[in-house]
Structure 1
């Protein structure tokens, strides 16, 4: 049987079309009408959900506090409701030009599956878990809510609420491609790289498919931040920059993806013995290798500037001379001037990335730069 929970509330008009609702409710009841939407991917690879996994140790600390004498939790819970939740202004009230008192009505249906509940927890997951588990009869909590049927708006608010807190960065990076709202500058800069990374990790035609470690794909072998750095460098002033529209965030990602697919397919072919191994066994799959090889992608693309998007064979031809100069899985790198480093001593630091990138670019330019910029059939033969 369907029931309703009717609570005194205040509606606040923050900006045109943006309304918030403030009210108090027993925290023990919230799980009956609101659920946690954890980040995961469905069978086709699409992202759904936007919450982080519960941190059990933190929940236990809050629970112990709630079970102590005179607990107080002044922080509000943030909920997103769908349109089944409604607000009715109080009769005879005297509203201001931005706030009015009334009542918020929330459906309370028994045994409703989580995916059908009218509310989602945008912020306060751990506090609510602690309240739910605490050995107390009830605990009223302050709630701030907004009403929307748009899941992307719920996701965007989750990012904005949590981006200044110690939230796993990988989780935010996975959410960025699905957002359109204006975000803080450091997140806006990563929106396009995050979109490209998502496609590289999911597209069937991508040589990096399933290889990038993210919040929803922890079995990947390449750290998401390594891929993002490689993409950001190229978008800044490298091979991918030419596809951006000056002064605009708009761009066509398809030619970018074609270039990336062609290049990393060539890398996988030329360095096949080091490709696909865990970073501890191959520095090609390590942050230093990914970022450095990104700079080589930009350098080769610059040499082949007559080709709008170089082919796999063109990239492969230019990479082959570097094959014998690389020490991805064994041996020592010879950086010149008597400086040698064992293959697995390269670390994921800016210093080591710069050292390796500079070395590879120097080697490439001395071996290849002045060669005619055209694909050679010998590339395929040499690979065999």
Structure 2
């Protein structure tokens, strides 16, 4: 029968403004008794979790180090507790009013599945996995914890804790729409575009959503259009293009439903105009390549800036885009940009100069 008990750990509670953090020591072998790693995944279209997948080679390297003489891990792991975890202050007086000594009381129920444990690892996933697997009886580590109110707050802390580390951009983009709290300006700017991207990617492909399932993200491994290419296209349009009309410049919010409708309408016409090129990966098609996605995004902005979704059908965009067929070399042939040397179809690169060159070429053909 599985054990149920309370793990009581001596800790310091430190007040930071209106929030509290808790510093404590714990046997690294016991972290997984009460904490889980919530790896990012989706149930239907709802994002679950927030951690990056384990990197096995890194874990093995840490384990070899831990099993050597004189091993030391001075960096604290970061743990997000839920409200089942409590802090009991001791009677000893503190010399400063922002620090209190006491005990963290963590309920442990060995019968609970991983996703119902009372704590999540926000930082230290690979170190804790290495300690768990190491040939050691115990290995104490320093830890910092906080009691979070919901998974959105945990995601926010995860992004902030890892702000100076090389987190995969795709993971950040997928987390941003479901994250609350203060974010660095560079992330806050991408939060709305990331939400739009997610809606595009999890649309109904059978109903004609052109991007549905095609954008590569951590939870859409079969996608072939790079998420960063679509994100840049959306961001460009939001701040200086056709999607600006749906955005509130004062608070950065926007009518995501209208943005998605606008994008799906235009890109459905792109898909119907160039069906073969749309179904191929960027290696075989410059339409799904970063340069093609961004250049066609600028075409969308030039053609539909200030036109609401309800009026798009009356613009006959399918006839307009059909004129591009004669000047595009998405999958074969050469681009005739003028000058002495034509550019081979796959000679277009995802660089600012080439994106500008391709955009100008497309817009000239439409004038």
Query: Normalising to structure 2: TM-score of the pair?
Result: 0.95
Quick check: 2:202–2:213 contact (8 Å CA) kept in 1? Answer: yes
Q: Secondary structure, in 3 states, of the residue corresponding to 1:29?
A: helix
Q: CA 1:352–1:129 in 2, change beyond 3 Å: closer, same or farther?
A: same
Instruction: Find the aligned partners of 1:308 and 1:105 in 2 and give their Cα distance.
Output: 57
Residues 63-87 of structure 1 deviation map (CA, whole Å, 9 limit, x = unaligned): 1111111111110000011111110
My pick for the range that moved more, 266-275 or 211-220, is 266-275
Instruction: Find the aligned partners of 1:124 and 1:92 in 2 and give their Cα distance.
Output: 31
Residues 156-207 of structure 1 deviation map (CA, whole Å, 9 limit, x = unaligned): 1001111220111100100000113121111111111100100000022522
Q: CA 1:309–1:24 in 2, change beyond 3 Å: closer, same or farther?
A: farther
- The 5-angstrom pairing of residues 196-345 of structure 1 reads 196-204=196-204, 205=207, 206-302=209-305, 305=307, 309-311=311-313, 314-345=316-347
Instruction: Find the aligned partners of 2:308 and 2:8 in 1 and give their Cα distance.
Output: 68
Q: Secondary structure, in 3 states, of the residue corresponding to 2:312?
A: coil
1:375 maps to none
Instruction: Find the aligned partners of 1:55 and 1:268 in 2 and give their Cα distance.
Output: 37
TM-fit CA distance, 1:110: 2.2
Quick check: 2:78–2:144 contact (8 Å CA) kept in 1? Answer: yes
Quick check: 1:239–1:301 contact (8 Å CA) kept in 2? Answer: yes
TM-fit CA distance, 1:338: 2.2
Q: CA 1:307–1:74 in 2, change beyond 3 Å: closer, same or farther?
A: closer
1:127 maps to 127
Consecutive unaligned residues in structure 2, runs of 5 or more: none
TM-fit CA distance, 1:339: 3.5
Consecutive unaligned residues in structure 1, runs of 5 or more: 366-384
TM-fit CA distance, 1:313: 6.1
- 2:65 matched to 1:100? no
TM-fit CA distance, 1:129: 0.7
TM-fit CA distance, 1:112: 2.6
Q: Secondary structure, in 3 states, of the residue corresponding to 1:247?
A: coil
Quick check: 2:156–2:182 contact (8 Å CA) kept in 1? Answer: no
Instruction: Find the aligned partners of 1:95 and 1:215 in 2 and give their Cα distance.
Output: 48
Q: How many residues are aligned here?
A: 362
Stretches of 4+ aligned residues off by more than 4 angstroms: 304-309
Residues 88-127 of structure 1 deviation map (CA, whole Å, 9 limit, x = unaligned): 0002433622110001111122243101111100000011
Let me know the Cα RMSD of the aligned residues. 1.6
1:13 maps to 15
- 2:186 matched to 1:186? yes
2:173 maps to 173
1:378 maps to none
TM-fit CA distance, 1:317: 2.1
1:35 maps to 36
TM-fit CA distance, 1:148: 2.2
Quick check: 1:263–1:312 contact (8 Å CA) kept in 2? Answer: no
Query: Normalising to structure 1: TM-score of the pair?
Result: 0.91
- The 5-angstrom pairing of residues 47-86 of structure 1 reads 47-86=47-86
Quick check: 1:259–1:309 contact (8 Å CA) kept in 2? Answer: no
